[in-house]
């Protein structure tokens, strides 16, 4: 609605914009805000991502800062990636299935990663120093010996992870 105005304020900020198709507004976690809309908006999609999604990415990728709280306040931005992820989530929610639920959970994690990648302040998207607990020499030797003995065979990451006593994710990251 071109006659409308959306105004939000809270925690020392005040933002306003005319609602436009595809416009995205971002807010960090834990920041209270008041929103006033001066004219009807035909359709709006509100995506809430739980802090646990961001914490999962923080832990998995060793991020230095809590990314959910580092999202910048932004008004009326355009981001085709966020738009497409949001629309795909919406389309999956219209017909609920087990596979659709799995898709929505994965897409939500991807959306959280996009927000960290593009819209975080304070270096929360920068990787910290390499793992403080690298693959120890004994486990590394076992994995390398397994590779040497089976160089002509198909060796999977899962096989190597079992030999090294690690999960496939952690072995790949540490290796």
Instruction: Compute the CA torsion angle 26, 60, 63, 106 (nearest 10 deg).
Output: -10
Angle between helices 137-149 and 157-164 (to 10 degrees): 140
Q: What is the mean pLDDT of residues 94-122?
A: 89
pLDDT-based confidence at residue 32 (cuts at 50, 70, 90): confident
Tokens of 82: 């966020």
pLDDT at 85: 94
Q: What is the mean pLDDT of residues 45-62?
A: 85
The average confidence (pLDDT) of the chain is: 83
pLDDT-based confidence at residue 28 (cuts at 50, 70, 90): confident
Please list, residue by residue across 16-37, b when 16 or more beta carbons sit within 10 angstroms of its beta carbon and e when fewer do. eeebeeebbbebbeeeeeeeee
Least confident span in 79-88, 105-114, 157-166: 157-166
Whole-prediction pTM value? Answer: 0.64
What is the chain's length?
A: 175
Q: What is the mean pLDDT of residues 73-87?
A: 89
Using alpha carbons only, give the angle 152, 157, 158 rounded to the nearest 5 degrees: 110
Q: What is the DSSP letter of 46?
A: -
Express as a percent the part of the chain with pLDDT over 70. Answer: 91
Residue 95 burial (C-beta neighbours within 10 Å; 0-12, 13-18, 19+): exposed
């Amino acid at each position: 609605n071109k006659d409308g105005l959306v105004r939000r304020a809270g925690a020392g900020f005040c933002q306003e914009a005319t609602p436009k198709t595809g416009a995205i507004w971002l807010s960090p976690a834990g920041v209270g805000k008041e929103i006033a809309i001066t004219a009807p908006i035909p359709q709006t999609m509100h995506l809430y991502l739980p802090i646990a999604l961001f914490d999962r990415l923080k832990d998995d990728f060793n991020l230095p800062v809590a990314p959910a709280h580092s999202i910048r306040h932004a008004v009326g931005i355009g981001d085709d990636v966020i738009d497409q992820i949001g629309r795909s989530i919406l389309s999956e929610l219209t017909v609920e299935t087990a596979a659709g639920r799995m898709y929505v959970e994965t897409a939500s994690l991807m959306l959280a990663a996009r927000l960290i990648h593009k819209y975080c302040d304070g270096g929360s998207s920068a990787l910290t120093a390499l793992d403080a607990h690298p693959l120890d020499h004994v486990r590394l030797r076992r994995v390398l010996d397994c590779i040497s003995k089976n160089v002509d065979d198909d060796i999977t990451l899962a096989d190597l992870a079992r030999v090294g006593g690690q999960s496939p994710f952690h072995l790949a990251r540490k290796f």
